[in-house]
Structure 1
Amino acid sequence: MTLIGVKIDRLFLRDLFILLVGVGLYILSIQLFVVPNAMASNGIAGFSVFIHFVFGINPALTFFAVNIPLFLLSWKLLEQRELLLTIPGALAMSGWMMIYEAIGITGFQMDSLITVGIIDGILSGIGAGLVVLSQGTFGGSILLARLFENKWKVQIDKTLFGIDIIVMLLAVVTYLALPNFFVTLLSCYIFSKVTRLIGRPSYRQQILQKVGLIKNESNCSCTTNECSCSN
């Protein structure tokens, strides 16, 4: 079976499953840590919150409006398989929110904001990393980072953190308290690095080599998405 030229096989279904799990973890982190502890959201979602605070526009509308040109660009710059996985990824964002609300997951406050930032950065980074690993996106900053990576070879963590810095600066001059700003910035940095660590096997292998967990084989070759070594 094929859809828009993409073969729907076991590999595709596996990647779809990884994508949905990744989106679920990303939204879970927002529900558990970001919202109840008054931290700013990262990426395009955070920009939507800023627009809501300044102009009173529903964040969902802003997120949708920003994603329209990104999706139009992606038709030319992303592969068909990536596009096909992006659609359920974007829909899963709202789906997981409704699921968590239905089962009563509302999050909790913690005394240490730094702990909140570290946990959020790790958990949301794992989720986003799984999305990247699946070769899909859920729109927003992940989609923009994939476009920058495909077109200009900009490393995905640099794009994510660059977007987050802009969003955080907008937030801190309007509604975000300074302690929350610095903790959110820490969370965004961790998020960007964990996303790349999980989503990019080549980067993961480099890190494991640096810490001595695997040997540095001279006959290993790496691409953006994967590494392979011959014996």
Structure 2
Amino acid sequence: MHIIGVKIDQKFIKDLIVLILGVGCYILSVRLFVIPNLLASNGIAGFSVFMNFVFNLDPALTFFVINIPLFLFGWRLLTKRELLLSIPGALAMSLWMIAFEFMGIQGFQLNQIIFAGIADGILSGIGAGLVVISEGTFGGSLLLSRMMEDQWKLPIDRVLFGIDVVVMILSLLTYLAFPNFAVTLLSCFIFSKVTRFIGRKEYRLRVIERLKFNNLRKQKED
């Protein structure tokens, strides 16, 4: 079976499952840590929240409208397989939101919001990393970063964090308190690094080798 020239085989189904689970982890992190602790969302989702605050636009509508040109550009720059996996990835974001709300998952309001930021960065980064492994995206900043990585060889973590910095500054200037801004920025940095660590094998191996080297050097010094 083929869809737009993409073979729907066992590997495609496996990647689709990994993608949906990855999106689930990402949305779960928003539900558990971002919303209860009044942190800002990263990427295009965060920009949608900013547009809602400034212009009272529905975040879902903003996210949808921004994704249209991204998918059009992606059609020219990415493979058909990557794009075909990105469509259910984008849809899965809304479906997971509905599912977690139906399950009554409320999240954790922590006394020290920095721990919420760290936890969000790790869990959402794991989710986005799984999406990258699947060779799909969930639209938004991840889709944009994949295009820039493929076309201009820009590291995916730097693109993600660069987009997040712009969104966070806009949020700080409008509605976000400075402590929440600082914690969210830390969360975005962790998110970008964990995404690349999980999603890019060569980067993961390089980090592991560096850690091993540092441990051996420390043992020799001791």
TM superposition score category, shorter chain reference? over 0.9
The two structures, once aligned, show a CA RMSD in angstroms of 0.8
Equivalent-residue separation in structure 1 for 2:194 and 2:52 (angstroms): 29
Query: Which residue in 2 is equivalent to 1:40?
Result: 40
C-alpha displacement at 1:108, in angstroms?
Answer: 2.1
Choose 90-99 or 2-11, whichever is displaced more: 2-11
C-alpha displacement at 1:4, in angstroms?
Answer: 1.0
Query: Which residue in 1 is equivalent to 2:9?
Result: 9
Unpaired stretches in structure 1, ≥5 consecutive residues: 214-231
For 1:75-121, what per-residue CA distance to the aligned partner results, in whole angstroms no more than 9, with x for missing partners?
00000110110010000000000100111012120001111010000
Helix, strand or coil at the partner of 2:212? coil
- TM-score, L = length of structure 2: 0.95
The one-letter code matched in structure 2 to 1:74 is: G
Query: Which residue in 1 is equivalent to 2:206?
Result: 206
Unpaired stretches in structure 2, ≥5 consecutive residues: 214-222
Query: Which residue in 2 is equivalent to 1:120?
Result: 120
Runs of 4+ aligned residues of structure 1 deviating over 6 Å after TM superposition are: none
Percent same amino acid among aligned pairs?
Answer: 64
Equivalent-residue separation in structure 2 for 1:84 and 1:173 (angstroms): 37
Greater fraction helix: 2
C-alpha displacement at 1:212, in angstroms?
Answer: 1.4
Helix, strand or coil at the partner of 1:108? coil
Equivalent-residue separation in structure 2 for 1:206 and 1:25 (angstroms): 25
Query: Which residue in 1 is equivalent to 2:66?
Result: 66
Choose 106-115 or 18-27, whichever is displaced more: 106-115
Equivalent-residue separation in structure 2 for 1:199 and 1:16 (angstroms): 15
Equivalent-residue separation in structure 1 for 2:212 and 2:39 (angstroms): 36
Which one scores higher on RCO, CA 8 angstroms, separation ≥ 6?
Answer: 2
For residues 54-133 of structure 1, the aligned pairs below 5 Å read: 54-133=54-133
Equivalent-residue separation in structure 2 for 1:9 and 1:125 (angstroms): 28
The one-letter code matched in structure 1 to 2:174 is: T
Equivalent-residue separation in structure 1 for 2:211 and 2:58 (angstroms): 45
Query: Which residue in 2 is equivalent to 1:160?
Result: 160
Equivalent-residue separation in structure 1 for 2:148 and 2:106 (angstroms): 34
What is the number of residues matched between the two proteins? 213
Equivalent-residue separation in structure 1 for 2:184 and 2:90 (angstroms): 23
Equivalent-residue separation in structure 1 for 2:106 and 2:6 (angstroms): 38
Query: Which residue in 2 is equivalent to 1:188?
Result: 188
The one-letter code matched in structure 1 to 2:178 is: L
The one-letter code matched in structure 2 to 1:9 is: D
